[in-house]
Structure 1
Amino acid sequence: MTKFLSIAFFLTFCVASLQSQKYVVPGYIKARGYDAHVKLTFDNPDAFTYDIYASTNGGKTFIMRAETSGDDYLDFVNDLGRNLSLVYRVVPKGMNVLSKDAEKFQVKAQTHVFTDEELLDMVQKYTTRYFFNYADPDCGMARERNNNPNGNIVTTGGTGFGIMALIAADHRGYFPHEAVFHKIDQIVTFLQKADRFHGAWAHWYNGNTGKVFNFSKYDNGGDLVETAYMIEGLLTARQYYQDGNAEEQALCQRITKLWEGVDWNWYTQGTDSLYWHWSPTYGFKLNHRITGFDETMITYVLAASSPTHPIRPEVFKCYSISSYFYNGKSYFGIPLALGMPYGGPLFFCHYSFLGMNPHGLVDKNANYWTLNRNHVLIQRAYAIANPKHEAGLSKDSWGFTSSDDPLDGYTSHQLGTNEENGTISPTAALASLPYAPKEILPVYRHFYYDLGKKIFGPYGFYDAFNLGLVQGQQVVHSYLAIDEGPIPVMIENYRSGLLWNLFMQNKDIQLGLKKLGFQFQIKQESSYVQ
């Protein structure tokens, strides 16, 4: 009898001890439902380990979803159904999810079936967070990538794209108007103080010091193409804020000084061509002429548009002196007037055309809307044909452009070469939305609904994936500013034409395009500032 009493006392003591275990309830636990996923965020500064459970029946039973020591989690709930009413419990590891204590760690979420417009809005907002939430907090510039081994490196061109994404975000009300303005104001302040080279910025900078971080051994000075991408964003911002309050108009004046300070003509070396780089140490040693139809067309347009240091129209003629300017062939029955075989990496029809509207843009060489649309359709046709029999390629799963790669680090993935290895770069198709929405909206759906659990993260779709690799190595979990930026910008251009309209309303740009022999369209809007 004494033995049984001892055992009973011991069990009672153990239960009481378990019930009296101490724990910390996070300062907040939030959940937001979308369609195929729920975003959970919770206060976890000490990196405690939490088990995440979900219930589809009001909390009667729970399903283990994940274990994490982070402070957020994206739970893809396709396996649970659609239009879900979910109860989540984010409990400290070791706590019984059905206990009374666990109720203190509870939050609810509702999912609903998205329209295509809602899907686009979600992707646009998620991706723009890279330039708002993940931007360098002190200088506002976009970090070159989220996994940079060299420290706090910020990027010029990617930030220019980010400025345009932020303007669209302000237009959509994603973030407070004052906060977006402050971010762009921060960037302009940094650009005013950063090292410049005859007005041009370098490719990369140390975000803490404003000093150049070398892109390569001889590339430690001005990068005219990256500068063009920055100016593309700045001129769009100037147009957006021109009728704003006194502070916003003062920002426009500062942007004008930066724009007028770029000595485009210096980068001709006194010849009939623009050159990509100039170094205060090595001069024009790289001697990289900007020729051929690729990502650089905007550089010539801006150089011709400069109110202070314009190039002569004759300089633009050298742009076509290249083995990959004229094409004239057809691929899968689709004609291509200009460019590399198959058109080259798909960012060629993004970077110059984030602000410069290809609708109605025509010169003696091409109709640029038709050219870019055909480039996009050629890539889709290639994926359907799948000549190398790569896993995962289909009419709804494709996109070949320069990006990170699970096999080869960073590469172009150019069709018709060994660099095309089955890797898909989401930015390629997603940023091409305006050119072929009927063909590309299914890509958005496939990437999100079918592959989202693998390839969708805190700032939207990861940089690249290859379904032909072993499961644990299929996805490169990186984000690059230069790849992130075109996605929200081109989504907005598809939805409203906002960035195209703003950029094309610049009188300097209109004069430059006329000087180079372009026909173009302008859509007038009174003011976009809310």
Structure 2
Amino acid sequence: MLLLAGYSCKQKSVSPNGIESNAYDRHVELSWNPVELADKYEIYVRKEDGDYSKRAEVTDTLYLDFVNDLGKNLGLQYKIEAVLGEESRMIGEVAVETRTMTEEELLDMVQYYTFRYFWEGAEPNSGMARERIHVDGVYPQDDQNIVTAGGTGFGLFALLAGLEREWISPDEGLARFEKIVDFLANADRFHGIWSHWINGETGKVKPFGQDDDGADLVESAFLMQGLLAVREYYKQGNEREKALADKIDVLWKEMQWDWHTQGGQEVLYWHWSPNFGWQKDFAIRGYDECLITYVLAASSPTHAVSEQVYHQGWARGGAIQNESEAFGYSLPLLHNGSPDYGGPLFWAHYSYLGLNPKGLKDRYADYWEHNRNHSLINRQWCMENEAGFKGYGSDLWGLTASYSTIGYSAHRPGNDIGVISPTAALSSIPYTPKESMEVLKNLYYNYGEKTFGRYGFYDALSPEEDWYPKRYLAIDQGPIVAMIENYRSGLGWKLFMQAPEIQEGLKKLGFSISE
């Protein structure tokens, strides 16, 4: 265990009446215990010796007050009242002070808030990450208990960061990991592979589509990437911690990667269903978000695929190499469907929460250079802004898959409708630290309450359409926490890359590793 030191966002103050408060640079967070039969709560604020004025009415027991309109470095006093019919009942008062924050403190704040998606927002029975959370409490298709394999894998890195930054205690963290691993051991699996969506109450598959009701190899790869990092974190621990690591090892060894070659073809296939077999027939070929799938498949101690599956399948017999250049940045790998400017930015994130791209090279690319250039091309596209979308610029860029004004969409250069996804720039922070911080500051300081809530920045926004939905997706929140942590300490990279099977698998595929 590494135990990172530094500023902690969890240092809330608690008033004698039970109101918890934490003041940041431009907002104050207040939370309190619910009052039985309360219809709503009224929040009042005053500055120093001024009079109270009504600030908000809410039905929740957590309130984020963005105080840009009141000034900076403020001394404020809040009063909270519960409204029960025609009567009001005082809950209490609390004093706070906002303060100018350093970049490190801002990163810590964003990382902590986003971590809460996977800690406080998790599905209670399984401990896994909910597929989505809508702040208004409305879950589409009654899926509040539907958890996601890939999003949970990303969330495991978030939980590890939370442990190291002492946002949760060692006992709390271990108990959560045990709950998740025990749930996964009993959930539906197909040749050791999980489905994309799982019912968090029953462990049964929730079909992702009409003929997608079985194994999802890519989502399971994202999940195992996180699980192996957890195994490495605990494998030298006490008896209980070693037992958890051993359980993960069993799940890892039961994954039949070779099954997904359809009997020995030189490519991996994404889906298999007990009802539809190989009907989807989706061969995984690069380049997109799936590199980690091939790395894990080659690294398996029990059901590995050959290096030829990687070179002929993923790398298309060498045709994955690309000579494209955009805005002066080369793109060494041929992106599926977007060879000139690159695909959505999650392609630079999902496989690299544990797989360290620093110094990672094979015969096809230098992966650090590739991912950095991919991020910079995406940024420059937004800065050029040929469509003239409102808000775009050096401090608002980032196209990736997210919620959209037209439904869920994989935004990228060439498929740009004026929607920015915060996860795109924030998760690219290891590659573009200064450029990503510009976006973080802009979103927090200038957009504030429109873009930032209980679990960090909301999934997407469009100043062009004045569209600011208060929605979250696990697969977008997870990379934010994980990649900020990799930028700050390299935690996820250190843990995953130290796994001996991964080291051997990378050598087998012809990768060299040097930082």
Aligned to 1:150: 142
Q: Which amino acid aligns with 1:369?
A: W
Q: Which amino acid aligns with 2:141?
A: P
Counterparts of 1:284-295 in structure 2 under 5 Å?
Answer: 284-295=278-289
Residue 236 of structure 2 is aligned to residue 243 of structure 1: yes
Partners of 1:48 and 1:292 lie apart in 2 by: 54
Matched to 1:290, the amino acid is I
Q: Which residue of 1 aligns with 2:40?
A: 49
> 2:92 corresponds to which residue?
105
Mapped to 2, the partners of 1:95 and 1:433 lie a distance apart of 49
Range that drifts further, 83-92 or 502-511: 83-92
* SS of residue matched to 2:396: coil
Unmatched 5+ stretches in structure 1: 1-24, 523-530
Equivalence map 1:92-171=2 (5 Å): 92=82, 105-146=92-133, 147-151=139-143, 152-171=145-164
Q: Which residue of 2 aligns with 1:456?
A: 452
In structure 1, distance between residues paired with 2:254 and 2:261: 16
Note if 1:310 corresponds to 2:304.
yes
State the aligned residue count: 487
**Equivalent residues of 2:39, 2:84 under 8 A apart:** no
Aligned match of 2:8:
none
The CA distance in 1 between the partners of 2:190 and 2:469, in whole Å, is 35
Could you report, residue by residue, the CA deviation over 1:314-363 in whole angstroms, capped at 9, with x for unpaired residues?
Answer: 00012122999333211112111112331100000000000000000001
C-alpha RMSD over aligned residues: 2.0
TM-score (norm 1): 0.89
Q: Which has the higher helix share?
A: 1
Which residue is 1:89 aligned to?
79
Question: Given that residues 400 and 423 in structure 1 are in contact (C-alpha distance below 8 angstroms), is that contact kept between their aligned partners in structure 2?
Answer: yes
**Is the alpha carbon distance of 1:95 and 1:205 closer, same or farther for their aligned partners in structure 2, counting shifts above 3 Å?**
closer
Contact 2:17 2:92 in 1 (8 A): no
Alignment pair present for 1:67 and 2:57: yes
Structure 2 counterpart of 1:258, from 230, 239, 251? 251
Q: Describe the SS at the equivalent of 1:396.
A: coil
Pairs within 5 Å for 1:356-435: 356-405=355-404, 407-417=405-415, 420-435=416-431
What SS is found at the alignment partner of 1:372? helix
User: Which residue identity lines up with residue 511 of structure 1 in the other structure?
Assistant: E
Alpha-carbon distance in structure 2 between the residues aligned to 1:182 and 1:461: 27
Does 341-350 or 86-95 show the bigger shift?
Answer: 86-95
Tell me which residue corresponds to 1:319: 314
Offset, 1:79: 1.4
Q: What SS does the corresponding residue of 1:475 show, helix, strand or coil?
A: coil
Counterpart Cα distance in 1 of 2:486 and 2:362: 22
In the other structure, the counterpart of 2:328 is 333
The aligned counterpart of 2:440 is 444
- Offset at residue 244 of structure 1 (A): 1.3
Does the Cα contact within 8 Å between 1:47 and 1:70 map onto a contact in 2?
Answer: no
Amino acid across the alignment from 2:120: N
What is the CA distance between 1:94 and its match in structure 2? 9.9
- Superposition TM-score, scaled by structure 2 size: 0.91
Instruction: Report the Cα distance in structure 1 between the residues aligned to 2:84 and 2:302, rounded to whole angstroms.
Output: 68
Aligned partner letter, 2:303 = H
The answer to whether the 8 A contact 2:430-2:487 is kept is yes
Cα distance between partner residues in 1 of 2:85 and 2:208: 50
Q: Deviations over 1:266-306 (max 9, x none)?
A: 00012111000000011110000000211000000000000
User: In 1, Cα distance between the equivalents of 2:390 and 2:497?
Assistant: 41
Counterpart Cα distance in 2 of 1:292 and 1:322: 11
Within the candidate set 497, 503, 507, 2:496 is matched to 503
CA contact (8 A) 1:356 1:503 kept: yes
Aligned to 1:174: 167
Residue number in structure 1 paired with 2:10: none
Contact persistence 2:45–2:54 (CA under 8 A): yes
Q: Kindly name which structure, 1 or 2, has the bigger radius of gyration based on alpha carbons.
A: 1
The Cα offsets for residues 223-280 of structure 1, whole Å up to 9 and x where unpaired, read as 0001100110000001111121110000000000000000000000121110000000
- For the residues of structure 2 that align with 1:43 and 1:363, how far apart are their CA atoms? 55
Alpha-carbon distance change, 47 to 134 in structure 1, aligned in 2, over 3 angstroms: farther
- Mean alpha-carbon deviation: is it higher for 62-71 or for 234-243? 62-71
For the Cα contact (< 8 Å) 1:399–1:424, is it kept in 2?
yes
